[in-house]
Structures are given as C-alpha cells and as structure tokens.
Copies of this chain bind each other. A is one copy, B any other.
Amino acid sequence: MSRLALPSCDLPAAPESALSAFFEPTRVALIGATDRQGSVGRALLENLSGFGARLFPVNARCDELLGRPCWRSVASIGQPVDLAVIATPAATMPSVIEACVAQGVRAAVVISAGFRETGAPGAVLEKQVLELARRGGLRLIGPNCLGLMVPQTGLNATFATAMARPGRVAFLSQSGALCTAILDWSFRQRVGFSAFVSVGSMLDVGWGDLIRHFGEDPSTESIVLYMESVGDAASFMAAARTVAAKKPIIAIKVGRTAEAARAAASHTGAMTGSDAVLDAALARAGVLRVDTIGELFDMAEVMAKQPLPNGPRLAILTNAGGPGALAADALVLRGGMLAELDAKTLQALDGSLPAHWSHGNPVDVLGDADAARYGGALRTLMAAPQADGLLAVLTPQAMTDPQAIAQALVAAARDGEKPVLASWMGGDAVESGREVLNAGGIPTYDYPDEAARAWQYLWQRQQRLRWLEETNRIACQERPAMSEACALAASHLAAGRRLLTEVEAKQMLAAAGIPTLETFQATSEDDAVRLAVDMGWPVVLKLHSPTLTHKSDVGGVRLDLADETAVREAWHAIQRAVPPADFAGVTVQRMVRQQGLELICGLSQDAQLGPVLLFGAGGVLVEVMQDHVLLLPPLSPMLVLDRIRQTKIFRALQGTRHLPAADVEALADTLVKLADLALAVPEIQELDINPLLAHAKGVLALDARIVLGAVTH
C-alpha cells in the first residue's frame, strides 16, 4: 500500500517525543569548544554559557576555557549528558559519535560541515556516522547546520551572534543562511520564537520528527518551515497530517519552477513533476504553502490571532471606494469570493447609512463617516450570515477617527466568531488606530490588497483542514479489494508483460468499475466483421500494433463504419498504411456518437510520495494547455470535487453553448475508483485515460494506456 495512503487510524501511536533531549536538555556537552577568537567553537561556547543547564566544554588540549572547567574527552565527563553539540572536523565524527553513544548521550547537534556536500568520501563518512548513531540510540540534528535555539529557556546551541526573542512560533529552516537573515530581521520586527532550528542535511532528524515534536510542544502555537527538499516524505506527511489539524503549519518551499519546467514534458508521468506532487501532498496534509518569506511570518501571526472562517465569502467595509475596489480586485484575482449581501442586510445598512452608500459589497460608508456610522455598518456585517469574515478598510479623512473606529472593530471582533482583518491606510494619522488593532489582536495591513491575500490564506487553511478531516474519515473505511484487477496485473507481470495493449488496459479499467468502451482485438478481416456484427453498427477500427502507439498519426484509425463492406475496406486501408512488421490486426469498438467533453485522467508513481492521479482537459493539447490538477489517493467525491473545481475545464462540465452539463457525480466516482485501483494495484506504474468522455449521462473511457512494473515502495 502506498505510503501516502496510510490511514491515520492505522498509524502506530507516535512514540513519545524522542527529541526532548534536544530542546529541554539539563546537561549539555560542547565538543570542539575553544577560546580561539572568531571560531565556531568559541561562538558556541559563549552562546551556551548563557544557558542555565550544566555545560561541559570538551577539548582534548584544555582543562579550562574562558574561566570554565573543560573536559579532555566526552568519556571524562563521567556523568550523564542529554545533548552533545559537536563542532569538530568531519573526519573526527565517527569517534566523537562513538564516544557520545558510550556516554549515553541521547541527542547530538552536528554543526560541522564536510559530509555529502563535499562528494563521495563525505557521503561514505556520513553513512558511517548515521549507522553509529542509530545503533547507539542517538538522535542527530544536522550535520552542516547553524544549530538550534529555545529562547524561553535561554538555550542557544548555535554560532549565531544573538539569541532569538521568545515567542510562540517554531521556525525550522533548511537554509542556515536564511536562519541568520530571519533572526536578524526578527529583532527589528519583534517576532519571537518558541524554537529556532537549522535542520542542516537532515541525516537523521527530519521534518517529520520535528513537526511531531512541536505539535506536542505547549509553547508552540504555529510551525513555520523553510523547505528545500522534503526528505522522508512518508514521515513528513504522517506528522503533518496529525499536527496540522491542531496547529497551523506554514511552509515555503523553493523549486516550484525547476519542476514546472519538467512539467512541460510530454506525457502524464512527466507532468506530475515532483514539486507539483509535493504541492498536492502539502494541501492534503493540511499544510499551508505560501509564496514569499513575508507571507510566511505574516500568516503565522494572523492564524495565531484570528479564527478560521467557515466559508470563503468576505465582506469589505470601507470609508473610501477606491481602496475597497482594490481589495475586491485582489480578492477575486486570487480566487476569492465577495459575500453577496442579502435583502435583510442591505435593508439594515440602508437604515444606518446615508443614501449614497455603495449598496453592495464592498460596503462604502463614505468619506465623512464618523465612528458611529462606521461602527453601525460593522455590526450589521458581523451579524450577516452571508459573510464569513470581514475586512475593514479605513483612510484618514476629515471626519475620520481612526482610533475610535479601531476600538469599535476590536469590540465587534471580540463579540463575533468571524475572522476580522484591517487596513488602516496612511502613516501617523492612523498609527494610534493601528496600535488599538494590534493590541486587540486584529491583523493590520498597509494596503487592503495585502489583507485580501491574507484572507485567502485563512480560507485556504480552513479548506485544507476539511480535506484532512475527510481524508481521515475515508482512510478508516475499508477500500475495495479490486481482486480482479489485482489478478489481471499479476498475470500480465507473470507473463513478462509491462506495456499493456488497449484491450488489456481497458479490461483493467472495467475490472476497477470504470465505465469503459469495450474494445476487441481482431486478427483477421473476418474476425473484425464478426465483432462488428456482434456489437452493432456503426463501428470504429483502429490499428493494433506491437510497435506503433500513436495510431491516428499513421492513418490507423477509421471511424463510423456502417456495414460489412466498410469494415473490410478499413481493414485493408489500415493494413496498407503501415509496414507489415507494425501490423498485428485491428481493434474493433462501437462508434461513440455521444457528445461530450474530452478529459484526461492519469495515474503515475512519484518516487517519494507514491501514486498520484492527474485530472484535466484532455485531447492533443493537454501538454500545452496545462489545465490539470493532481490528486492523491484515497479519494472521496468531496475531495475530488474540491480539487477538480480548480481547473478551467470544470466550468465546461457545467454545460457550454455546445454541450449540456456533464454528469459530474459519475466523473467523481470514476476518480475515486481510479484512486482505489492505484492503492489496490501498486504495480500500475503509469495509466492514462485520454480521452475520458464526460457526457450528460455518465463518463466513458475511450482510450487507455497502462504500464505495469515492480512495486518499489
């Protein structure tokens, strides 16, 4: 079974956090301590000296360092140590780790570089270190990292020049350089951290361990990740799924575009490039992925301050039309939704606002609005069930009292249960109002367009939590065994078959319960006629070839054959169109006259994340239009619909000038079955249904391609 598909109800209970020794040590050894100016060992010694716990500097050549006793070796410490911080050269690492293990050390932060990043010998060394640590029950953060900090307790096991401010955000970064920049920035912005961890190469401790740890850590309200690679995907996903439900996990991951380039490749397998897969996986695991570093910390703050919305519909309240329109533009351009005010709400607003108010959302209470007028509209909108949240915009005009209106907003937010965001635009004139908002827990933005973006992220997180809930619900259900499909795959593989014929691929789909246009193989002209007579006129003949897969390109497809003569002519025409070696007969299928949309449904295996489904607009332009989404099994109709709604072709499924609305339920059902097939038959390496015809009364797989292979995970 796929790693991703692990139902969370089947997960073994998470082991008690193995990482407490890293973050709550009482005895710390610093291996590689020195008093040499400008060295990493000196910086670590100074930083760790500020910590309350017992510190044991270790240096083979000193008995004293900076006025503190120093030990010649780990062994000589002679008492239990929780955490070792190691800054000696890479080559010494095996013996250092052995010494730590012998001393019963449970956790080590390896600052030192010089491992895999230096080439093959470094990689070998690294492997040796990992084996020694694993065997000795020692967990290891790094190597090649800046270290870690726990500001609340004063633990600073880094060589950075200052200690982070205490706060409620756990920041985990795969870039040490970004750590130093963020740390420096955080002082100015007064951002505080419950922990600050540079994860380095993640030789042992990875995202999964850390997310699970901070998920349990009562000092941590939200977890913020800077990712360059996902590492152990199964561990990451399992941890994220468990933790995201209770604490926001917000991630930025670089490498969107390198993968986007790969995604331009020409078949489904290549299109599910790994960044796109990871993106889908993050979404399913409840992780919020943001685009910029600015958004990373902003959203950590917003989510700590405000509840999540129950729906996507935002009400915008403003004392100026332009800024309100800017916010609406920003919202809708990011896929958001303006609340549509109902008659009752409009009436209530009519009662409290001057005649020229905007009479819609954004609600413009006009430039001369005082606190009473603004506040009245505010309370109406907070009470309106058709708005899931509120963005309050204010510009400093003659009659405006930014502070009083801010107080009204704080009071309304406190009494309501909806998220409230604000943009008090300007400088000093609105500063006192901003202070009131900050103190009252209402996120404020310089410009309303930024606030609209934050709203979209809030709703996105809510939506992801719903997906998580649904995933957990269906993961506990029994999935279909698909025994017939399993047997088919086993018998093909036993016969050494990997690339299935169209007929075989369709049998597999049919076995999975996916509506499929039955197709038969004919190895003689008479065979073809007999098959056609059996299935009824008109029929389609297609080349059956052991070598050529793009049948229509070579003139190997003959449509709409209405009688025996036509079938016989088509047989000969196809035979003539290709060299004899490429001709192994034809396939015969019913001519489908049903009007519908051509979709693509695919399945491929991601090396890290297991089976991935693809849904999108089908046809020959599938690679050009790139109108598709990825889905991870297991699926339910709700999970399918929420995801495929993000494609353009989904709008066409609602009906176009040329076509009636398609049977979207049948489509969702087909994707659910395809996901079940992926879980039940992991031997399917690639599967394309292109096209899947979606019409008013169902769906039908018109063509199919399957590649089998050995299960590698």
CB of A313, distance to nearest CB on chain B (Å)? 15
A712: CB under 8 A from chain B? Answer: no
Contacts A188-B428, A396-B181, A550-B657 known; A321 to B175 CB distance under 8 Å? yes
A200 to B207, CA, bound (A): 55
Contacts A189-B427, A657-B550 known; A320 to B178 CB distance under 8 Å? yes
- Complex contact A293–B326 (CB within 8 A): yes
- Complex contact A322–B177 (CB within 8 A): yes
- Complex contact A329–B449 (CB within 8 A): no
**Which listed segment binds B: A278-286, A371-379, A646-654, A699-707?**
A646-654
A123: CB under 8 A from chain B? Answer: no
A624: CB under 8 A from chain B? Answer: yes
List residues of chain B with CB within 8 A of the CB of A450.
292, 294
* Chain A 448-487 residues near chain B, CB threshold 8 A: 449-450
8 residue pairs A–B, Cβ–Cβ below 8 Å: A161-B429, A181-B323, A187-B427, A256-B333, A260-B333, A292-B326, A292-B450, A624-B648
Q: Of B173, B180, B226, B427, which is within 8 A of A185 by CB?
A: B427
Contacts A174-B322, A184-B396, A189-B427 known; A625 to B617 CB distance under 8 Å? yes
- Complex contact B178–A395 (CB within 8 A): yes
Interface string of A294-325 (1 = CB under 8 A from B): 10000000000000000000000001111101
List residues of chain B with CB within 8 A of the CB of A553.
658
List residues of chain B with CB within 8 A of the CB of A43.
398
- Complex contact A184–B429 (CB within 8 A): yes
- Complex contact B328–A257 (CB within 8 A): yes
* Chain A 318-372 residues near chain B, CB threshold 8 A: 319-323, 325-326, 328-330, 332-333, 356, 367
A257 to B323, CA, bound (A): 14
A396 to B161, CA, bound (A): 10
Which one of A189, A255, A257, A648 has the highest number of Cβ atoms from chain B below 10 Å of its Cβ?
Answer: A257
List residues of chain B with CB within 8 A of the CB of A623.
656-657
A180 to B117, CA, bound (A): 55
- Complex contact A260–B292 (CB within 8 A): no
CB of A279, distance to nearest CB on chain B (Å)? 12
Identify the 7 closest CB pairs spanning chains A and B, nearest first. A177-B320, A175-B322, A184-B426, A181-B425, A188-B427, A257-B332, A254-B325
A330 to B450, CA, bound (A): 17
List residues of chain B with CB within 8 A of the CB of A550.
657-658
Interface string of A164-201 (1 = CB under 8 A from B): 00000000011111101111111111000000000000
A526: CB under 8 A from chain B? Answer: no
Contacts A228-B325, A624-B651 known; A426 to B658 CB distance under 8 Å? no
A395 to B293, CA, bound (A): 14
A291: CB under 8 A from chain B? Answer: yes
A188 to B431, CA, bound (A): 11
- Complex contact A178–B323 (CB within 8 A): yes
A287: CB under 8 A from chain B? Answer: no
List residues of chain B with CB within 8 A of the CB of A329.
254-257
A430: CB under 8 A from chain B? Answer: yes
* Chain A 606-630 residues near chain B, CB threshold 8 A: 617, 620-621, 623-627
Interface string of A114-125 (1 = CB under 8 A from B): 000110000000
A266: CB under 8 A from chain B? Answer: yes
A187 to B429, CA, bound (A): 10
- Complex contact B398–A159 (CB within 8 A): yes
A447: CB under 8 A from chain B? Answer: yes
A178 to B393, CA, bound (A): 11
- Complex contact A625–B625 (CB within 8 A): yes
A397: CB under 8 A from chain B? Answer: yes
A657 to B325, CA, bound (A): 45
List residues of chain B with CB within 8 A of the CB of A325.
228, 254-255
A446: CB under 8 A from chain B? Answer: yes
A186 to B429, CA, bound (A): 11
A319 to B176, CA, bound (A): 11
- Complex contact B427–A184 (CB within 8 A): yes
A173 to B395, CA, bound (A): 14
A448 to B322, CA, bound (A): 30
* Nearest B residue to A653, CB-CB: B624
* Chain A 125-183 residues near chain B, CB threshold 8 A: 159, 161, 173-178, 180-183
